[in-house]
Amino acid sequence: MMNVDQLAEIASKIAPMFVLLDGQGNIGQVGPTLQKLRPDQDWTGKPFLEVFELRRPRSIGNMTELLRTSGVKLHMQFRDEPQTGLKGVLAPLPGDMGAIVNLSFGISVLDAVRDYDLTSADFSATDLTIEMLYLVEAKSAAMEASRQLNLRLQGAKIAAEEQAFTDTLTGLKNRRAMDHILSRMINTGRDFSLMQVDLDFFKAVNDTMGHAAGDAVLQKVAGIMVDCTRSTDTVARVGGDEFVLIIDGLLDRSRLDSIANRLIEQLEVPIPFGGEMCRISASIGTALSPSGGGVDAARLLHEADVALYAAKRAGRACHFFFEPGMDNDDSDEADSPDVGLPVSSGNGDGLVKDAAQRTGG
Amino acid sequence: MHGLINRAIQAFVCSTYGESRWRDVTDSAELGFSEFEAMLIYTDEQSQKILTAMEQVLERPLREMLEDMGTFLVANPQTEALRRLLRFGGVNYVEFLHSLDDLPDRVRLAVSDLSLPALELVETAPGQFKLICQNGLPGYASVMMGVLRAMADDYGDLVILEHSGSEEDAEVISVMLVETDFAEGRTFDLGANML
């Protein structure tokens, strides 16, 4: 029959976190890895339950009860700091020699390796801890690579959205696309007309019926604008309720006027939404590309804007062509037609009220 | 071929020859892009084009460059994670050599769709080994040669490595351990990279 010292020697090879207990539950020898966790402490002769606090099963207060746990998984922690969590299993020794308890870190192993500076040599050769540490690192590295990929994809998505030429709500071209097309047409010296279209009473629809109604109206408006123009023309939404139409190869005023008026007429047809009718209209200002080219895009947009402002001022639902001299009177306000409503006439308030009544019906 | 492998090639070329040379390589390979993503899969044809273009543009034998790449993967701070994962293989160089048998399985545990050809270590005499690298990945044995060399430095051991031809379809590297603890080696702290 081997003695306790021989048992301790064997155990230190295959279970380097063992604890040998005598019949009274006092600690005899401990494994080298367990001792490494408290290098300055000598536990010899100390009661096991004074060094370790048993968390589960609870209500174990003495050695007799402890011995009865034979084979059961024990959860415990050190009573002093750091209170590293440990798992264990106890096996009684023959006769009244006491018991052997084998401990391991369980899931707290990640902290333990760092806190106690453990190395491969501190684990038995069959212990899977090193493999587990390997997996944790390998998976973290793989996860990091995936995270980087996700970040880059998200960045690419944002960049793609920024570079997009389409207004996602209406499917029309956006301002960037319009700028491209406009400068291309100017550079190639093509004849064209530029229409600035600003919806009237749209703000009232948004305010009284909500954004969903506003979005539905914008989508309907987009469809009408596409229907009223040819496939060679460009329809772009350049702001909340501002649109630009580039009418390709057409400088004939009467034909442009009829396109604009047909558009206003169509836009004034009430749009049903959620059991109610949304009523809007539009004001339009048109600038013609000068024959022989030599105009810049900003100038032409400004001219169309000035004409639009004149249309707004004339009581809305109107179409005006830009005329030389038009921008002299109102140059301050010409860039922002919405702001430019003639305050003195009192029409501004009246129109909004009017719009609210109209949309309410 | 897995993005991680392509990404490793990219990291090696960028770090050794500079990013503009890497763009020369990808231009020459006519891939239509110059950045590999580590977690995407690319065709073998794309990877082969890159290797061919590397040889043409950088004007060095591919074998040599791949061996340097193996060394780079272990020794460069950029790829410290990889060195650590290899060091988990053993507490000394011989244990590490024996762990290479498990390398493809270890790799698959970490990245399930990355499969490496099998490696087999045979001890021919005390301190003398043959590493049999199965085929399936062009240049595998050359990269492994660089890895073995750099890991010997990492452990501080002196070894002699040479290609010793092919057995059937596999390439063989012979490893002769001349002196252990020849130099200081680099430290390996198990818990250094824990969360």
361 residues of chain A, pLDDT tens digit each: 688 899 999 999 999 999 999 988 899 999 999 999 999 999 999 999 999 999 988 878 888 888 889 999 999 999 998 899 999 999 999 888 899 999 999 888 888 888 898 888 899 989 888 888 888 888 888 888 888 888 888 888 888 877 788 888 999 999 999 999 999 888 888 899 999 999 999 999 999 999 999 999 999 999 999 999 999 999 999 999 999 999 999 999 999 999 999 999 999 999 999 889 999 999 999 999 987 667 789 999 999 999 999 999 988 899 999 998 887 654 444 444 444 333 333 333 333 333 333 333 3
Contacts of B41 in chain A (CB under 8 A): none
- The superfamily CATH assigns to domain A4-125 is Haem NO binding associated domain (3.30.450.260)
Q: ∠ at Cα A208 (A204, A212), nearest 5°?
A: 95
d(CA A12, CA A10): 6
A145 vs B: CB within 8 A: yes
Do the chains contact at A135 and B109, CB–CB below 8 Å? yes
Which residues, at least 6 apart from B43, have a Cβ–Cβ distance to it below 8 Å? B1
Q: What is the pLDDT of residues B27-56, one digit of tens each?
A: 999 998 999 988 889 999 999 999 999 999
Instruction: Tell me whether strands A192-200 and A27-30 are parallel, antiparallel or unpaired.
Output: unpaired
Annotated active-site positions of A, please?
241
d(CA A168, CA A185): 24
Buried b (16+ CB within 10 A) or exposed e, B7-20: bbbbbbbbeebeee
d(CA A116, CA A110): 10
Contact residues, chain B to chain A, C-beta under 8 Å: 4, 37-40, 81-82, 84-85, 88, 90-91, 106, 109-111, 189-191, 193-195
A129, A133, A151, A154, best to mutate vs chain B, most B CBs in 10 Å? A133
Q: Which residue of A has its CA nearest to B113?
A: A142
Torsion of CA A204, A205, A209, A210, to 10 degrees: -90
Residue recorded with tokens 């174990």: A60
A139 vs B: CB within 8 A: yes
A120 vs B: CB within 8 A: yes
Answer yes or no: is pLDDT of B182 > 80: no
d(CA B126, CA B76): 31
Q: What is the token pair recorded at B173?
A: 């590297």
pTM score over 0.90: no
d(CA B83, CA A146): 19
Of A130, A137, A139, the CB nearest to B84: A137
Do the chains contact at A118 and B84, CB–CB below 8 Å? no
**Does the domain made of A175-360 have the CATH classification 3.30.70.270?**
yes
Smallest Cα–Cα separation from A59: which of A45, A49, A70? Answer: A49
Q: Which residue of B has its CA nearest to A141?
A: B81
**Residue A153, pLDDT score:** 87
Answer yes or no: is pLDDT of B158 > 60: yes
Contacts of B84 in chain A (CB under 8 A): 137
Q: What is the domain partition of chain B in residue ranges? A: 3-60, 69-179
Q: What is the token pair recorded at B57?
A: 């543009």
Contacts of B195 in chain A (CB under 8 A): 110, 136, 140
Half-sphere exposure of B34 (CA within 13 A, CB side): 13
Smallest Cα–Cα separation from A325: which of A343, A310, A341? Answer: A310
Specify the higher pLDDT residue, B66 or A162.
B66
CB atoms under 10 Å from CB of A266, counted, come to 16
d(CA B100, CA B91): 13
Do the chains contact at A117 and B191, CB–CB below 8 Å? yes
Q: Are A305 and A243 in contact (CB under 8 A)?
A: no
Specify the higher pLDDT residue, B189 or A138.
A138
Contacts of B109 in chain A (CB under 8 A): 135, 138
Q: What is the token pair recorded at A139?
A: 């998976």
From residue A160, how far is each of A20, A204, B95 by CA, in Å? 67, 33, 50
Half-sphere exposure of A187 (CA within 13 A, CB side): 6
Half-sphere exposure of A42 (CA within 13 A, CB side): 2
Residues forming beta bridges with residue B9, ordered by sequence position: none
Contacts of B91 in chain A (CB under 8 A): 119-121
**Residue B98, pLDDT score:** 94
**Residue B194, pLDDT score:** 54
d(CA A171, CA A189): 28
**Residue A350, pLDDT score:** 34
pLDDT, mean of residues B90-102: 92
Q: What is the pLDDT of residues A4-46, one digit of tens each?
A: 899 999 999 999 999 999 988 899 999 999 999 999 999 999 9
SS3 percent helix, strand, coil of chain A, rounded to 5, is 45, 20, 35
d(CA A192, CA A233): 9
Q: Which residue of B has its CA nearest to A109?
A: B191
Closest-CA distance, A312 to chain B, in angstroms, reads 51
CB atoms under 10 Å from CB of A315, counted, come to 13
**Residue A334, pLDDT score:** 42
SS3 letters across A33-59: HHHHHCCCCCCCCCEHHHHEEEEECCC
**Residue A293, pLDDT score:** 64
Of B39, B81, B195, the CB nearest to A149: B39
A113 vs B: CB within 8 A: yes
Smallest Cα–Cα separation from A164: which of A153, A149, A175, A155? Answer: A175
**Residue A161, pLDDT score:** 76
Of A114, A141, A152, the CB nearest to B194: A114
Contacts of A118 in chain B (CB under 8 A): 190-191
Average pLDDT of chain B to the nearest whole number: 91
Q: What is the pLDDT of residues B101-149, one digit of tens each?
A: 999 998 888 888 999 999 999 999 999 999 999 998 989 999 999 999 9
Would you call A354 helix, strand, or coil by DSSP? helix
Q: Are B188 and A121 in contact (CB under 8 A)?
A: no
Residue recorded with tokens 């090879």: A13
Output the CATH code of domain B69-179: 3.90.1520.10
pLDDT, mean of residues B60-68: 95
SS3 percent helix, strand, coil of chain B, rounded to 5, is 50, 20, 30
Would you call B161 helix, strand, or coil by DSSP? strand
Torsion of CA A30, A32, A38, A43, to 10 degrees: 20
Closest-CA distance, A144 to chain B, in angstroms, reads 10
Q: Are B188 and B81 in contact (CB under 8 A)?
A: no
Of A114, A119, A134, the CB nearest to B85: A134
**Residue A48, pLDDT score:** 94
How many residue contacts between A and B have a Cβ separation below 8 Å?
A: 63
Give B24's pLDDT tier (boundaries 50, 70, 90).
very high
Q: Are B32 and B23 in contact (CB under 8 A)?
A: no
**Residue A329, pLDDT score:** 55
